[in-house]
Amino acid sequence: MVPFSREEVEAAMDEYDKPRQPDSIFHAFGEPLHFWVRSTRDRLNRVYPSKPIVGFLRKKRTLNGGWGSRTSAAAQLHNAGYIIVDSNDGPTPPEEQYPHLIGDADRIRLCARNYYVEPAREKGASEVVIRAEDLGRDMGLSGQDRAICDALGSEEFQQLAQVPPPTNTSPNNSSSTVFTYQLASAKGHPTNTIVPATAMPAATNLILYGPPGTGKTYATTWEAVRLCLGDEVADLLRENRDALMREYRRLASEGRIEFVTFHQSFSYEDFVEGLRPTTSLEQEGDDEVASTSGGFSLKPHAGVFKVVSERARLDTGDAPAKRLDRSRAIYKIALGKRGSQEDRIREGLDGGLIHLGWGGDIDWSDERFDDFEEIRKVWNDQKDPDASGKDPNIEMLYAFRSGLQVGDYVVIPDGRDSYRALGRVSGEYYFDADAAVHPHRRRVEWIWRDDNGAERAPFYARNFRRQAAYRLDPDRIDWDALEAVVIDPNAERPVAGARPHVLIIDEINRANISKVFGELITLLEVDKRLGCENEVRVRLPYSGTSFGVPANLHIIGTMNTADRSIALLDTALRRRFTFCELMPDVEKLRRALAARQLDAENLEGINLCKLLHTLNERIEFLFDREHQIGHAFFTGCRNRADVEDVMRHKIIPLLAEYFYEDWSKVAAVLGDNDSTNGANGAHFLEAKRLKAPAGFVDEELGGDKWRWSVKASFDFSDFAA
């Protein structure tokens, strides 16, 4: 029986996705229950029932679905180099190695060609990268790193996939080995390098500035959403405030937009990195004596800029995560002594589990043992009444059973200075009474393993201790160095598909810029971002870590010109930012009210456009253009009462602040400068002449004195519609 080609299987899947007639062969097999097959192409749903696909190709309406014979559906697809999975896309290997099924080496080569090489060719890639661990996980081959590496490095694979000899990382024959193949198209022509569908825009450093109420906050929100989602999506949201704010809040909840407000006491330690006191001297549980600092220590604490920069750098986009979760703990778990207890270590590595000898023969599965004191109490009652909380049967057991959580990582040491495996805990504690050694166990998915080991020092500067189970100090873990070994040598660089992130700095002019940014002001330049032509990194003063700003982090600042002139900003900051002025705009006021079926030129008899324009003309004449009144003060008005409320509680107090309580100038702006002449033209303010108190002579006081007050009811006749 001739095996299917990849093109035939994918064509059958294309047909399966199309609308069908009632007599379609696909309907002959009913609801699928077992044995699905994974497509090699990017599809909305990559999993298909195996029997309808094979039935379509063989033109048969009855088939066996499993592995039992060479004509069974799963067996035929298996022999064609396809991966059989369950309905949740989990690999389902054969229960036994039937003689009619191809061997592991041939299947590895076929799957690597079908799922890696050919899809890359179809996309026009110039090379394809296959990591041994990724292929093993895709196929469900646990602990077969050597077989996978042998197959990928063989001449048979080069002939099958039509690729030249690969370059591969060392050490060879480990889960972290990466094979890179240069590709040519089927006709031998050179191929193009894959370019993302949406190219990452150049990093944005933008400051929106203008007088109060000119819509800087709304403009910042729209700009942040635009940078994250693209122009097309943002344009649809520009006039829909509610929809725009929903998207903004969603992006903020995902960590893609971060917001911070500068103020006079804001510092480098708040923004980038500082030291914070902590009483948790030893996360690892050492018996070391507390320092002479009175029981607390100072540890580096990341500020908002470092946090969002790292979040942007580590983003993997919509692709499957290729990074470790840095919020999780890492525990050191010793499975046995190197050399003399290799069988115990092998049992864990080959069997996908970790095991612990401390804790005796007691089953600690009951949920009450989540509590340290419960473990201690039972051990004292049943084993050793004198044991303290530092007894390893209590301390190590608690760390292994309760401290270590599903999703945390475990590192398997190879002596004090190296390690040989890293895994993710996938199961809760269980007690295996039939185990030859170490009955306390947990399931683990190994992410990386290498019998030759890797050096500990680059990722953890402290020697591994003798304790069988303990948590590594999170402040000493260098995640970049760890990922470079267990994920990819270039893991520290942002991936091509990393999504844009935005940091919004409100009131950016209110802080001492030189003090807050420090040496990082240079890193903001577009060409000095990570991965750019003139990439620059600095070593941070408190943590000592190397730091750079990723290209997918955009920075938007806002600045109120009534607080401080743009001319007073730090020159270094001004060189690195683009400035966009937002001034009062009558047209925006008109559109905002029109969106609510209101007329800005006749809101219950008031012409808001004329009111705004007139006030700003007078302010610019008496003061300057940077202290004008923004249109946003009036965009929420629905009736005459709202306008009066804005004038009374926002505009007039703001004018009083602008003119330092010189009410004659406030009156001039409001058109009430005739109030002191006793005229009846007072619209907003009233002036009453003050009589000189007893003992004062009018001539000595330099003229008339006036008491100014805000009228109980405003007269908008000068701004009538």
DSSP conformation letters of 603-649 = BTTB-HHHHHHHHHHHHHHHS-GGGPPPGGGTTT--SHHHHHHHIII
What's domain 330-486's superfamily in CATH? ph1033 like domains (3.10.590.10)
Q: Residue 518 has what pLDDT?
A: 87
Cα 704 to chain centroid, rounded: 66
Distance CA 224, CA 556 (A): 8
Distance CA 51, CA 27 (A): 11
Distance CA 295, CA 290 (A): 5
Kindly provide the b/e burial profile for residues 179-207, where b requires at least 16 CB atoms within 10 angstroms of the residue's own CB.
bebebeeeeeeebeeeeeeeeeeebbbbb
DSSP conformation letters of 565-584 = -GGGS-HHHHHHSEEEE---
Position 283 pLDDT exceeds 50: no
Position 291 pLDDT exceeds 60: no
DSSP state of 117: I
Distance CA 144, CA 297 (A): 46
First-to-last alpha carbon distance for the chain, in angstroms, is: 88
307, two tokens: 């946090």
Cα 99 to chain centroid, rounded: 48
Closest by CA position to 276, among listed 542, 544, 547, 548 = 542
Contact 718, 682 (CB under 8 A): no
Q: Residue 194 has what pLDDT?
A: 29
Contact 406, 426 (CB under 8 A): yes
Position 195 pLDDT exceeds 50: no
The full set of domain ranges for the chain reads 6-182, 205-269+497-581, 330-486, 586-719
Kindly provide the b/e burial profile for residues 290-299, where b requires at least 16 CB atoms within 10 angstroms of the residue's own CB.
eeeeeeebeb
Position 638 pLDDT exceeds 50: yes
pLDDT in tens, 535-583: 899 999 988 888 999 999 999 999 988 876 555 667 777 788 888 999 9
Query: SS3 of 713, please?
Result: coil
Question: Residue with structure tokens 């190695």?
Answer: 97
Q: If you average pLDDT over every residue of the chain, what do you get?
A: 86
Distance CA 492, CA 621 (A): 56
DSSP conformation letters of 12-75 = HHHHHHS---TT-GGGGG-S--S-EEE-SS--S--EEEHHHHHHHHHT-S----SSSSTTSHHH
Amino acid at 519: E
Position 293 pLDDT exceeds 70: no
CA atoms within 13 A on the CB side of 402: 19
DSSP conformation letters of 417-456 = SEEEEEEEE-S--EE-TT-SS--EEEEEEEEEEEEEEEES
Three-state secondary structure readout of 214-269: CCHHHHHHHHHHHHHHCHHHHHHHCCCHHHHHHHHHHHHHCCCEEEEECCCCCCHH
Q: What share of the chain is helix, strand, coil (3-state, %, to 5)?
A: 35, 20, 45
Residue 470 φ/ψ region, left for φ over 0, alpha for ψ in the -120 to 50 degree band, beta for the rest: beta
pLDDT in tens, 115-129: 999 998 888 888 888
Contact 25, 56 (CB under 8 A): yes
Q: How confident is the model at residue 188 (pLDDT cuts 50, 70, 90)?
A: very low
Q: Residue 675 has what pLDDT?
A: 60
Cα angle vertex 450, ends 445, 453, to 5°? Answer: 120
Contact 278, 309 (CB under 8 A): no
Q: Residue 575 has what pLDDT?
A: 83
Contact 323, 314 (CB under 8 A): yes
Contact 630, 211 (CB under 8 A): yes
Closest by CA position to 419, among listed 469, 464, 471, 477 = 464
Q: Is domain 205-269+497-581 classified as CATH 2.40.50?
A: no
Alpha-helix residue ranges (DSSP H) falling in 441-520: 479-486, 513-517
Position 226 pLDDT exceeds 50: yes
Q: Residue 697 has what pLDDT?
A: 67
Give the full edge-to-edge strand order of the sheet including 84-85. 47-49, 36-38, 84-85
Distance CA 508, CA 50 (A): 60
Contact 652, 666 (CB under 8 A): yes
Q: What phi, psi does 56 have (nearest 5°)? A: -65, -45
Amino acid at 694: A
Distance CA 332, CA 472 (A): 7
pLDDT in tens, 479-533: 989 998 998 887 777 777 789 999 999 999 888 888 898 888 889 988 888 878 7
Distance CA 85, CA 420 (A): 30
Distance CA 75, CA 95 (A): 12
Q: Is 30 exposed, middle or buried (0-12, 13-18, 19+ CB in 10 A)?
A: exposed
Q: Residue 250 has what pLDDT?
A: 93
Q: Residue 284 has what pLDDT?
A: 44
β-pair type (409-413, 330-333): parallel
Whether residue 489 has a cis bond before it, omega within 30° of 0:
no
**For residue 158, what are the β-bridge partners?**
none
Distance CA 287, CA 275 (A): 24
pLDDT in tens, 132-154: 888 988 898 877 888 899 899 89
Q: How confident is the model at residue 224 (pLDDT cuts 50, 70, 90)?
A: very high
Contact 425, 405 (CB under 8 A): yes
Least confident piece of the model among 12-26, 300-314, 542-556? 12-26
